[in-house]
Structure 1
Amino acid sequence: MKKLSYLLVLFFLAVAIQSCRDNHTEPFYDGEPVLHFQKESAEVNATDVGFTDYVVEFGTIAPVAAGTTVTLVKKGGDAVEGTDYEVLGGNTTQVAAGAVNGSFTVRVFGAGLSPDTAKTLVLGLQSSQIANAVYNQEITLSMRMKCPLPSNFPLTYNVSVYAFNEDAPSHTQTLVPVPGTDNQFTIASSWGPNFVAWATNTPSYANQYLYPGVITINCGDVTFTTSAAYGSNTTGTYDPTTGVIQFAVQQSLFSTQFTTNITLTPQ
């Protein structure tokens, strides 16, 4: 009998909870529309001979009652309108009655940008018909130049290694494109499979501590990042004429600190 009473209590509790849900007792917004950006920052890369269009999205939380004009305004940054970017179709747009969002398209030109230091563009929203929200009132676009790699970009390289003021064992590496990117490649070993064995004069260390990583190429710049606990991230150079990639790595595997210079030359 006690068990039946317990089950009845659970049944009535479940019915009460469902009743609350049916009565929409969960919190919901019933205020006036307010303007806000959908995100606070974004990176936009454009080629040195082209442009990239970036869609800046904004919302109103609640539907607008009538057609509403919203203006996109520059609030800061060193990007120059007409040189580094332009707002396609102008910096005003109409939000239709019943809508809860809108967008602007910012065209970013790569010719005046740098792959090294980003230019920034800080944007805000204004409307005489809708107030602004208390959050996401600015979006910062970071703009850089991006140089596309040639379609015949080589993937197999002869790698020369230099440390302790002498040549370490050379090796061959195949760069594997990172899916979804056009300028990132994984490398199985940066300083080579025999480097640690050579540096310690211990043959049993062959094929250990390979120092793998990801090579990212943008124009003449190279970034090498590694997941190896004993390694560190670094930067280098890429020569688009010769295809040579160069960077130097540090390590914490040895008690003595030293620099290892790595040069990848296409086969």
Structure 2
Amino acid sequence: MKKIAFLILASFIFLLNSCKDEAEVYDGQPFLHFNKGTSGEAVVRQNTGSTTVTIDFGTIQALSGAAQVKLVVDNTVSTAVQGTDFQILNPEVTVNAGQIGGQFQVKLLEATATVEPKVIVFKLQSSSIANATFDQTYILRYTKACEFSITPFSGNYTVVTDTWADYEPGDTVVLQQGPLPNQFKILASNNPYITNFSTAYMLVTVNTDGSIAVASNEPFNYGGSTGTLNITGSGTVNFCTGAININDLDFQGAAGSALNNQFVLIKN
């Protein structure tokens, strides 16, 4: 009897769950929305001409008939300009009966891409499919990335920041390339605080990802109670602009240490 009662109860629970699942089936309007995220990041690499990205959209359920969907740009908040910075290759897509979405292709142009992010804000538009109340804006941010090159890192640079205060903002610093192909020197020839300014320099080794390691070729001699200090550091360079950001510059010697200094330079 217990076994029979258990089977009856199990059947009853199964019927309840079946009714519940059937009740949750959606049978309303398809409603249009961005269905694979509402933001994206892209990089336009140097010497490629352009980069094409895909933006997906969808409907809550399959369409009963064909419909046209447009990708439109919100120019009130976008910083990139359509036709100048980017092109929508297929601004209108046909979603056929039985389908639940599609894709747009957007070409990002290298000629106007910058190392500072540009932003494009997209929206969906259709005369026959109503928009959903969610996921109605897609934000695409993109930047330009230049390939590894040591060429920019020579000549005159302007000091932007020097928390160690060897230089004032606006002072000029001279760079020379070498001795290795991925190295350059930040000369100390106009450093007013050291006595060995004619021979001392910071040697910067550049990695392919833009990270750098810094080390003085010889201790900087500040004289007096400070004496000589070895210099080490790390940071990044920008291959597109030649900018240098040493965000962790350490001075250490017998007199003590001064850590985590910042030295920022831009190319003249």
- Smaller-chain TM-score range? 0.5 to 0.7
Are the counterparts in 1 of residues 120 and 140 from structure 2 also a CA contact under 8 Å?
yes
Are the counterparts in 1 of residues 119 and 141 from structure 2 also a CA contact under 8 Å?
yes
Give the corresponding residue for 2:142: 143
Calculate the TM-score normalised by the size of structure 2: 0.58
Calculate the TM-score normalised by the size of structure 1: 0.58
Amino acid at match of 2:100: V
| SS in structure 2 at match of 1:93 | strand
Distance, in Å, in 2 between the alignment partners of 1:220 and 1:43 is: 21
Q: How far off its partner does 1:33 sit?
A: 0.9
Distance, in Å, in 1 between the alignment partners of 2:204 and 2:81 is: 45
Distance, in Å, in 2 between the alignment partners of 1:25 and 1:43 is: 41
Q: How far off its partner does 1:79 sit?
A: 2.3
Q: How many residues are aligned here?
A: 212
Are the counterparts in 2 of residues 64 and 100 from structure 1 also a CA contact under 8 Å?
yes
- How do residues 99-138 of structure 1 correspond to structure 2 at under 5 angstroms? 99-116=99-116, 118-138=117-137
- How do residues 182-221 of structure 1 correspond to structure 2 at under 5 angstroms? 184=209, 190=214, 215=236, 217-220=238-241
Cα RMSD, aligned residues only: 4.8
| SS in structure 1 at match of 2:74 | strand
Q: How far off its partner does 1:51 sit?
A: 0.8
| SS in structure 1 at match of 2:133 | coil
The alpha-carbon distance between structure 1 residues 158 and 212, as it changes in their structure 2 partners (threshold 3 A), is same
Are the counterparts in 2 of residues 164 and 258 from structure 1 also a CA contact under 8 Å?
no
Distance, in Å, in 1 between the alignment partners of 2:111 and 2:43 is: 11
The alpha-carbon distance between structure 1 residues 41 and 252, as it changes in their structure 2 partners (threshold 3 A), is farther
Amino acid at match of 1:81: Q
1:84 counterpart = 2:85: yes
Distance, in Å, in 2 between the alignment partners of 1:63 and 1:110 is: 37
Q: How far off its partner does 1:114 sit?
A: 2.0
Give the corresponding residue for 1:57: 56
Amino acid at match of 1:64: L
Amino acid at match of 2:114: S
Structure 1 portions without partners, runs of 5+ = 178-183, 222-236, 238-245, 263-267
Identity of aligned residues (%): 23
Structure 2 portions without partners, runs of 5+ = 152-179, 220-225, 252-256
The alpha-carbon distance between structure 1 residues 24 and 258, as it changes in their structure 2 partners (threshold 3 A), is same
Give the corresponding residue for 1:45: 43
Match 1:23 to one of 13, 18, 21: 18
Q: How far off its partner does 1:55 sit?
A: 0.9
| SS in structure 1 at match of 2:14 | helix
Give the corresponding residue for 1:93: 93
Are the counterparts in 2 of residues 85 and 109 from structure 1 also a CA contact under 8 Å?
yes
Are the counterparts in 2 of residues 111 and 145 from structure 1 also a CA contact under 8 Å?
no
| SS in structure 2 at match of 1:132 | coil
Distance, in Å, in 1 between the alignment partners of 2:204 and 2:234 is: 13
Distance, in Å, in 2 between the alignment partners of 1:80 and 1:34 is: 29
CA offsets 1:178-235 (integer angstroms, 9 cap, x no match): xxxxxx2566x5558x99xxxx99xxxx9xxx8666x4645125xxxxxxxxxxxxxx
The alpha-carbon distance between structure 1 residues 55 and 256, as it changes in their structure 2 partners (threshold 3 A), is closer
Are the counterparts in 2 of residues 33 and 62 from structure 1 also a CA contact under 8 Å?
yes
Q: How far off its partner does 1:137 sit?
A: 0.6
